[in-house]
Amino acid sequence: MSLPEFSINNPTDQWERFCKLLWFDNDLKMWLDISRMKISQKDLDDLQPRLKSALISLDELEAGSFANQDENRQVGHYWLRNSNIAPTSSIKDKIDHEITHIEQFGQKILNGTINSPDGNKFTDVLWIGIGGSGLGPSLIINALQEFNKGLNIHFIDNVDPTGINQTLQVIKSNLKTTLFVVVSKSGSTPEPRIGMEESRSFLEFHGGHWPSQSIAITMEDSHLHQQADKEDWLTVFDMPDWVGGRTSITSAVGLLPAALIGTDIRKFLAGASHMDQLTRRKDYIDNPACLLAICWMVAGKGKGARDMVVLPYRDRLEVFSRYLQQLIMESLGKKLDRKGNLVNQGLSVYGNKGSTDQHAYVQQLRDGIDNYFATFIEVLKDESILGSKSETKPGEYLSGFLQGTRHALTDAGKQSVTISMNDFDQIRLGALISLFERTVGIYAELIDINAYHQPGVEAGKKAATAI
């Protein structure tokens, strides 16, 4: 059956498009509907050889190719959730050991086996990290923490003195039962170093003992690692050389905060690994990352000519659009392609959450400039509100708002993708993150750019250092 053209006036054609393009996984209970994107049969046919080549490149990446040519590094974040595919037994053993270390450490903190210097249980965490080292943990906490479970997590992710001071004042009453986590891969990045110095000074001024309350997440033998060893900090977790900040959420950067709020890190990794497996499929119609990459390619004409508006209809995914901003824009926003041609590639990402967006910028999305495509994310399960005797079901209204907004956009000729999940938990979060990581990898191959280096970021750092 050839794919009918996108048509808002022909329900039969749209139904056929839906049936042909819908992807579904029974284990995850997750759906991807791209039928509202203006993709033609010719687009699918033309991209098929390039998709095949892109999937081969991802296979080579997972096998250990040095994809980050600027820094002569492998790119191994996929190994973190399935150590069996790591290229060497030593890497596999290190990954397995680290997961167990994180899991056991989190349990000891929560059950009081490891206590604060005054003998009380730890109550809070001050997380000090920048970029993916802050966004990843923030997504984990926002998406997975249950009410009144685990430690209270606070963040210093900037060098704004007002922000640092306000955060320190918030934890002041629990200062001596606060864990301080410093995340810096190189150990020399200015922002986390400054955040660490200010926090340490504040703690010690009020009588706390930094080494007994502090953890480092860093590369082996970095300056930060050496400092933590020398001063005998509580522990050090590894951030491997072959993991980039924007793809570090399945490393200690994401697993430690998950462990400290009492969530099951094995389930989170299993969800990511399961989606990795699904997105290795060679038939594009059965591979959700291929389908998303096709949408990005066709909508933006292979040049990022359309923005992506992320509209998750759950509060737990409020941070997800910011997380995707870094993952996608840092990976795809490149001046040169692999051949050295000037291409100025990228894909702009913005979003908030539903149904908040319906009272914010949906007006422009429907009636304004046609320079975007929307990505709706929905959770079908309608949770009851504890103690409520109202006959009103908020989940039904939320679903109605999503469907109404999507219909209004389609009716105006605007394009959208919908990702649906029957439920939302650690497994689905892991799968969702992996889906977009894999899509970034495939799309980067289609447009022939290196998704795994960041020369623009490095240039900014050098300029700032000079100033």
Element (H, E) at 231: helix 223-231
CA–CA separation, 49 and 300 (whole Å): 19
Task: Write the DSSP string, 365-395.
Answer: HHHS---EEEEEEEE---PPPTT---S--HH
Instruction: Tell me what pLDDT residue 358 has.
Output: 73
- Measured CA to CA, the distance from residue 2 to residue 17 in angstroms comes to 9
Q: In this predicted structure, what is the pLDDT of residue 210? A: 98
CA distance to 71, 83, 95, 251, per residue, from 88 (Å): 20, 9, 11, 18
Question: For residues 15 and 10, what is the distance between their CA atoms, to the nearest angstrom?
Answer: 9
Q: Output the pLDDT for position 464.
A: 78
What is d(CA 236, CA 256) in angstroms, rounded to the nearest whole number? 11
Please name the amino acid found at residue 360. A
CA distance 431 to 403: 23
Q: In tens digits, what is the pLDDT along the chain, a chain of 467 residues?
A: 589 999 888 999 999 999 999 999 999 999 999 999 999 999 999 999 999 999 999 999 999 988 766 777 899 999 999 999 999 999 999 999 999 999 999 999 999 999 999 999 999 999 999 999 999 999 999 999 999 999 999 999 999 999 999 999 999 999 999 999 999 998 888 999 999 999 999 999 999 999 999 999 999 999 999 999 999 999 999 999 999 999 999 999 999 999 999 999 999 999 999 999 999 999 999 999 999 999 999 999 999 999 999 999 999 999 999 999 999 999 999 999 999 999 999 999 999 888 787 778 889 999 999 999 999 999 999 876 666 667 778 888 899 999 999 999 999 999 999 999 999 999 999 999 999 999 999 999 999 999 998 888 777 878 877 88
Burial readout 283-308 (b: 16 or more C-beta within 10 A, e: otherwise): ebeebbbbbbbbbbbbbbebebebbb
Which residues are the active-site residues?
A: 330, 359, 461
Tokens of 442: 């495939």
Give the DSSP H or E segment for 268.
Answer: helix 265-278
Q: Is the dihedral of CA 295, 297, 298, 300 positive or negative?
A: positive
Quick one: pLDDT at residue 385?
67
pLDDT at position 386: 65
